[in-house]
Amino acid sequence: MPRPSRSSSRPRADPVPPSAPPREPLLVVCALAVEKTALRGGAAGSPAASVTLLRTGMGPRAAERAVADALRGDPALRGAAVLATGFCAGVAPGLLPGDVVVDERSESAAPLADALARHAHGRARVHTGRIAESDHVVRGAERLRLRTRGALAVDMESAAVRRAALADAPRPVAAVRVVVDTPEYELLRVATLRTGITAFRVLRSVFPAFLDWHRNHALPWR
């Protein structure tokens, strides 16, 4: 049984205006409008490189298609590092709404987790482990099956973003997800409103950690 480690609409990519001359590009990918709103709030005033936010729409097919189109169609994203983010469902025991999960396949996963913990300022716990892929919302017995296979969490887009990013060219790729529901707090229950607000605030607060990862661990790929 795994344990948390210690440690729709047409896709649209919006540049985040940098406050310093741009460096190597970073593409931050999410599925939902509410996730993009949180990310834009976190990006406000960030002393960053050239950062683009891309909302793909829900599901692996939409995510894979949107990322492939963006990387192949926008010269400004040539060589970009790619980070998939947004909300996820927790499947491992001990995860709580608002916890942050770093996919273990992420480039420089340990430094990324450390940066996330710093920027969360105690508002969220950070775990590193496997984020499973699904093409639908996972509930009940299906969560248990994923748990027994070693997953900490599950979402619909992170793996698809990774496939599309690496199919285009070798590049740094990471996935960071904020837990919005757990077996005890499943989606569509009244309590999800509260947990959704918690996850939104955490996602907004950790955006600077994405920039730390980009600055410190993506640049050697130039």
pLDDT value for 112:
95
Q: Which of 11-25, 88-102, 123-137 has the lowest mean pLDDT?
A: 11-25
How buried is 137 (Cβ within 10 angstroms: 0-12 exposed, 13-18 middle, 19+ buried)?
middle
Nearest CA to 196 out of 106, 98, 116 is that of 98
Give the global pTM. 0.84
pLDDT value for 220:
45
Q: With a cut of 70, say whether residue 129 has pLDDT above it.
A: yes
Residues 22-67 pLDDT 10s: 467 999 999 999 999 999 999 887 655 589 999 999 999 999 999 9
Share of the chain above pLDDT 90, in %: 64
The domains located in the chain, with CATH, are 12-221 (3.40.50.1580)
**Mean per-residue pLDDT for 88-106?**
95
Q: Who wins on pLDDT, 13 or 166?
A: 166
Q: Where are the alpha helices (DSSP H) in the chain?
A: 33-43, 60-73, 109-120, 140-148, 158-168, 191-205, 207-213
Q: With a cut of 80, say whether residue 77 has pLDDT above it.
A: yes
Q: Who wins on pLDDT, 186 or 63?
A: 63
**Mean per-residue pLDDT for 180-187?**
80
